[in-house]
Structure 1
Amino acid sequence: MKKSKNSERTRFVAARRNSDGTLSEFKDENGNVYDYEQALEAVEQGMIENALPFTGRDGARHIRGVNDGDKSTNLRNLKEF
């Protein structure tokens, strides 16, 4: 899912998991579906307001929810789609 940097920011509202339980796809509030790499790119470009990029202990880039104390912003708590 490619978007221009000029588009409005959106939020992830749902997620899909792999068989091992890791997040693999995200759906935004506009119904757009992102695979993990597309989602990471959108997050790194500042297009997603409820997620942040980070570098894990494994040295790879990952996505996490905004740590604001609200459990609903935790990406693991997103509804399944």
Structure 2
Amino acid sequence: MKKDSKKKERFVAARRNSDGTLKEFKSSTGKVYDYEQALEAVEQGLIENALPFTGRDGARHIRGMNDGDESTNLKNLKEF
């Protein structure tokens, strides 16, 4: 199977820290990623509904697709 024909995962649920920031993600295959693992997967193009970006603090972060669809906003992911 060619690598580019492999189906990408999606983030379908999340866990948050006590301050509300995202700390873990669950993918459509059931895999659980901590934030660093999730960021690495997003940067490698393995996750279809998230993008990496550099924040004002200079650190790398994850954001949802800016496509106008509220369901793709990572803040709207269900808890797991």
Q: Verify same fold: TM over 0.5.
A: yes
Deviations 1:24-65 (A, max 9, x none): 000001100000000000000000000000000000000000
Amino acid at match of 2:57: D
Q: Determine whether 1:24 maps to 2:44.
A: no
Extract structure 1 runs of 4+ deviating beyond 2 A.
none
Secondary structure at the aligned position of 1:27 is classed as strand
Amino acid at match of 2:63: R
TM, length-normalised to structure 1: 0.91
- Using the alignment, how far apart are the partners of 2:9 and 2:70 within structure 1? 18
The answer for the alignment partner of 2:42 in structure 1 is: 43
- Using the alignment, how far apart are the partners of 1:19 and 1:77 within structure 2? 16
* Bigger Rg, which one: 2
- Give % identity: 82
- Using the alignment, how far apart are the partners of 1:25 and 1:43 within structure 2? 13
TM, length-normalised to structure 2: 0.92
Aligned residue pair count:
76
- Taking only aligned residues, the RMSD between alpha carbons, in angstroms, comes to 0.7
Q: Determine whether 1:58 maps to 2:51.
A: no
Amino acid at match of 2:48: E
Gaps of at least 5 residues in structure 2 are none
- Using the alignment, how far apart are the partners of 1:56 and 1:9 within structure 2? 25
Deviation at 1:8, TM superposition (A): 2.8
- Using the alignment, how far apart are the partners of 1:69 and 1:19 within structure 2? 28
